[in-house]
């Protein structure tokens, strides 16, 4: 089948901001007095900010200790630290193969959208110079349900004026792949096959994907 649209997650697919998220969450955990490891951080991939905070507090055994207002403050604190880090991002931090892949899609007249849980996605795309490639952006400010709910990708398809079945989603997180499949889209995983059982197929990165495979 030849698909009409490509939807991309941001973190770990187009740019590697995972380490910035981790440093910001770890700083919060340090202040609360417990260790937050890279292994713990894997559970946050593709998850919204507040859901990520709930996971972090669960790791620290503090998940029932804070009011909604206190949790809002902690999430805002984490985000401010994260913004301070990503504000220094440069185009050199775009992952290998991303720009050639996006360019090949444009040559084929494929519609392109972002589908990210991050509320900071527009800022990051602007910082690294990727905004111009996208026909639609859907981020954490546009949706109320986190992946694996398909809302973010279904909204992306609507903004591109295509059917869900005409879309390929590129994701590095299991939650995102589950969201793509729940929305009736073709789910391509980027990473290790053992980490991404929800994918229809898995590649190491966009540098490893032939656009003609999906888009003619």
CATH classification of the domain holding 45 = 1.10.150.240
- Pull the structure tokens for residue 90: 């440069």
Range of the domain at 69: 18-86
Closest CA to 179 of 209, 143, 214, 207: 143
Of 65, 86, 107, which closes a domain?
Answer: 86
Are residues 76 and 61 part of one domain? yes
pLDDT at 63 over 90: no
Are residues 144 and 179 part of one domain? yes
Are residues 138 and 170 part of one domain? yes
Are residues 137 and 63 part of one domain? no
Are residues 189 and 109 part of one domain? yes
CA torsion 33→37→40→44, rounded to 10°? 90
Cβ-Cβ contacts under 8 Å for 113 (sequence gap 6 or more): 5, 6, 7, 8, 134, 135, 136, 137, 138, 156, 157, 159, 160
Are residues 97 and 77 part of one domain? no
pLDDT at 45: 79
Cβ-Cβ contacts under 8 Å for 177 (sequence gap 6 or more): 169, 171, 187, 189, 196, 198, 199
Of 55, 86, 117, which closes a domain?
Answer: 86
CATH classification of the domain holding 99 = 3.40.50.1000
User: Is 11 among the residues known to form the active site?
Assistant: yes
User: Is 9 among the residues known to form the active site?
Assistant: yes
Are residues 51 and 10 part of one domain? no
pTM given for the model: 0.84
Of 86, 105, 135, which closes a domain?
Answer: 86
**pLDDT average, residue stretch 93-119:** 96
Domain count, the chain: 2
Cα four-point dihedral sign 174, 13, 149, 179: negative
Whole-number average pLDDT of the chain: 95
At 10-59, the pLDDT tens digits run 999 999 888 899 999 999 999 999 999 999 998 887 788 899 999 999 99
User: Exactly one of 11, 30, 54, 210 is catalytic; which is it?
Assistant: 11
At 118-133, the pLDDT tens digits run 888 999 999 999 999 9
pLDDT at 119: 86
Are residues 202 and 107 part of one domain? yes
List the single range of 98-107, 114-123, 156-165 with lowest mean pLDDT. 114-123
Are residues 119 and 180 part of one domain? yes
**7 and 169 in contact (C-beta within 8 Å)?**
yes
């Amino acid at each position: 089948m030849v698909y009409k649209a490509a939807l991309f997650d941001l973190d770990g697919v187009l740019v590697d901001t995972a380490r910035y998220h981790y440093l910001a969450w770890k700083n919060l955990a340090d202040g609360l007095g417990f260790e937050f490891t890279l292994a713990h951080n894997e559970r946050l991939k593709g998850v919204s900010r507040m859901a990520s905070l709930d996971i972090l507090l669960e790791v620290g055994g503090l998940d029932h200790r804070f009011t909604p207002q206190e949790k809002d403050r902690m999430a805002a604190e984490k985000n401010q630290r994260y913004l301070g880090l990503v504000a220094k991002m440069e185009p050199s931090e775009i992952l290998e193969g991303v720009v050639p892949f996006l360019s090949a899609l444009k040559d084929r007249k494929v519609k392109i959208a972002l589908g990210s849980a991050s509320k900071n996605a527009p800022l990051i795309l602007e910082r690294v110079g990727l905004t111009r490639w996208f026909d639609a952006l859907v981020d954490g400010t546009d949706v109320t349900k986190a992946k694996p709910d398909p809302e973010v990708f279904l909204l992306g398809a609507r903004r591109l004026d295509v059917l869900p079945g005409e879309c390929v989603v590129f994701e590095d997180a299991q939650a995102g792949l589950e969201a793509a499949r729940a929305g009736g889209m073709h789910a391509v995983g980027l990473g290790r096959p053992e980490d991404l059982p929800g994918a229809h197929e898995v590649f190491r990165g966009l540098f490893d994907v032939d656009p003609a495979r999906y888009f003619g």
